[in-house]
Homo-oligomer: A and B are copies of this chain.
């Protein structure tokens, strides 16, 4: 890879002049411009972005830190962030934090050390105060889950409202024993969805049965097992609220295997083919692309206008898409 000075030498000019050509500076004669452009082409010169941005102290890169990029939800979200960033010529550095809270700080520091101008992250740990010192030079936008012990922008879905709506929807279809299937309360969104579920039961005057709450559905296998356990209770649930798309994808095959497609189901989070299943799955439409777009847009807004006053917390609505899985065996129609 050649450097700017090599190009300069070949064109018989100074490095600065090459820099001027690269930046379409007005004050370059046609003759010189042509010679430099030829030299650039001949050497296949690609400017060293590191050097440029190193000088200015800040790189045109934003970091994205999510639990897992493989997760379709975060993949779609990241993809949208990247779209917005690319439109502005900003690169995107991606890191998977994993689910271990202890690893969050290391993963985020790896990004900060690269002098990212902005950071979009889904917090996993219970405390993000370690990010405070960085806030004067790096804009941080939290996604999916609100941050703790730090003031920053966040873009979250309406977990509480969505869970409430989902549960209420099942209750309206005549279900009285509604189960909750989730991964773990350590994840803030799950905790809030459980809260919404409980609130809906309370609003309907139904006594919550702790035995109907399964918080072990971390993997597909665990989800399936949690389902089997719930269905083999003496008084099994007639409907389930699945607290995210992954648990839904885990329990649906198990439901089918058990021949219990009569069990009502609402999934927090849409997923491919939800409409093609029998019965089609009613979902709370938690749109990852819109979270990504909103977060990236906010990030750049902060970068462009550091002094503008904006509401810290953006809560995206999560509409319910009724498809049919909400009614019980002899249930009434969805509406």
Hey, which bits of chain A sit against chain B, CB under 8 A?
A: 1, 44, 46-51, 53-54, 59, 61, 68-72, 75-76, 78-80, 82-83, 86, 91-96, 109-115, 133-134, 137, 249, 252-253, 256, 271-273, 275-278, 289
Taken together as a complex, chains A and B put the C-alpha atoms of A95 and B61 apart, in Å, by 12
Q: What's the least CB distance linking A42 to chain B, in Å?
A: 11
Closest chain B residue, CB of each to CB of A250: B272
Q: Are A253 and B275 in contact (CB under 8 A)?
A: yes
Q: How far, in angstroms, from A137 to B44 measured CA to CA in the complex?
A: 13
Whether A50 pairs with B53 at a CB distance below 8 angstroms is yes
Chain B residues whose CB sits within 8 angstroms of the CB of A115 once the complex forms: 48-50
A319, chain B: closest CB distance, angstroms: 19
Set of chain B residues within 8 Å of A133, measured between Cβ atoms? 1, 44
Q: Which residue in B44, B61, B82, B113 is a CB contact (below 8 Å) of A96?
A: B82
Q: Which of B46, B61, B112, B249 makes the CB contact (< 8 A) with A46?
A: B112
The copy count of this chain in the complex is 2
Selected A-B contacts with CB under 8 Å, 27 pairs: A1-B134, A1-B137, A46-B113, A46-B134, A47-B113, A48-B54, A50-B54, A61-B93, A70-B78, A70-B80, A72-B72, A75-B75, A75-B78, A75-B79, A79-B96, A91-B93, A91-B95, A91-B111, A92-B95, A94-B94, A249-B272, A252-B276, A253-B275, A256-B276, A271-B273, A273-B273, A277-B277
Q: Is the CB of B110 within 8 A of A91?
A: yes
